[in-house]
Amino acid sequence: MSVLFEPYTLRSLTIPNRIWMAPMCQYSAAPEGPEAGVAHDWHFAHYAARAAGGTGLILLEATAVSPEGRISPYDLGIWNDHQTETLRRITDFLKSQGTTPGIQIAHSGRKGSTDRPWKGGAPVGPGAHGWQPSGPSPVAFADGHPVPIELTTDEIQEIVGQFADAARRALEAGFEVVEVHGAHGYLIGEFLSHHSNRRTDAYGGSFENRTRFALEVVDAVRAVWPDHLPLFFRISATDWLEDNGWTADDTVRFAALLKEHGVDLLDVSTGGNASGVRIPTAPGYQVPFAARVKNETTLPVAAVGLITEPEHAEKILANDEADAILLGRELLRNPYWAQHAARGLGGDVHVPDQYHRSSALR
């Protein structure tokens, strides 16, 4: 059998194949009022289609642990009971299709309070449902972005608690995987990097101090997340800066610590913490970073980044460069990527009974 279609077990959870959906914000929730951050028909239809298409694991988009933790006012949230209840409709359907439901919990930090990408993605103020962002240090993400308010140690601890509350709600909503978002220049990633973290207290300076907040979040989440279910962590393996940024060496070192703190898989991406950086993109350009973690630590990894062809995905797994493949934009283009890949590689994947007559797999 194709490796891409082999089940994968973490703790007591078995995911039916190695084709997973990466978190991708939809910017489609209400920005304020009782429906703020609530999943609606768009979210259901979006994720349901990928489950019907045979995707083994779906990680819901960055879901904010607080109103101020959203990237845009239109992001999903998981800070109240109403949000939690509406997410169960999605998890129930994903499970009915044999897909493992996962969710990424997140805080945007200094990159929060921005408009939807198709509206330009610029920072927005209170008049457009926005707020004043916060971060580890008063360092703006880019020209034209506000200088964030530096978080106090008490505020940091409050956010740690918000991540734990979000994980508890995720379990109530029926998710079986929770992923802590530590990538792409959002709050946890901001603490990790010298580029954005200029603190001189226990949360800045040394590697140990800069990773402290991330590990406190992981510990708090792991304390409320059941032992039999896996915990993921998403990381930007490099800031793509020549100096004064987070590096691949840092990632390998940190991965070993994450494993010690109960993380079961590292979702390896790159970039997002520095503006104007030139990134040498090409098919699979981020795979070598995942491969380093896999080869130099005992922590399983998922690879992501311009992986579009089934044969390429299969080769990554066969070469032991990753344990699973996370697809992003390719699944936006083709919700049935897994079924098409199965035809080409001779794999077996879930096809809904209602679509039985259209399938060459049965």
Q: In the predicted model, what is the mean pLDDT of residues 96-111?
A: 98
pLDDT at 12 over 50: yes
Which CATH superfamily is 19-335 part of? Aldolase class I (3.20.20.70)
- Residue 251 CA neighbour count, 13 Å, CB half: 31
Q: What is the pLDDT of residue 13?
A: 98
202, pLDDT greater than 50: yes
Catalytic residue among 27, 47, 74, 186: 186
The pLDDT-based confidence of 362 (bands split at 50, 70, 90) is very low
pLDDT in the model for residue 360: 55
CB 230 within 8 A of CB 144: no
Residue-wise pLDDT for 25-59, tens only, equals: 999 999 999 999 999 999 999 999 999 999 999 99
Q: What gap in Å lies between CA 57 and CA 50, rounded to an integer? A: 9
pLDDT higher than 90, residue 257: yes
The 10s digit of each residue's pLDDT in 265-323 is: 999 999 999 999 999 999 999 999 999 999 999 999 999 999 999 999 999 999 999 99
Residue 222 confidence (pLDDT) above 90:
yes
Confidence of residue 357 (pLDDT cuts 50, 70, 90): confident
186 is catalytic: yes
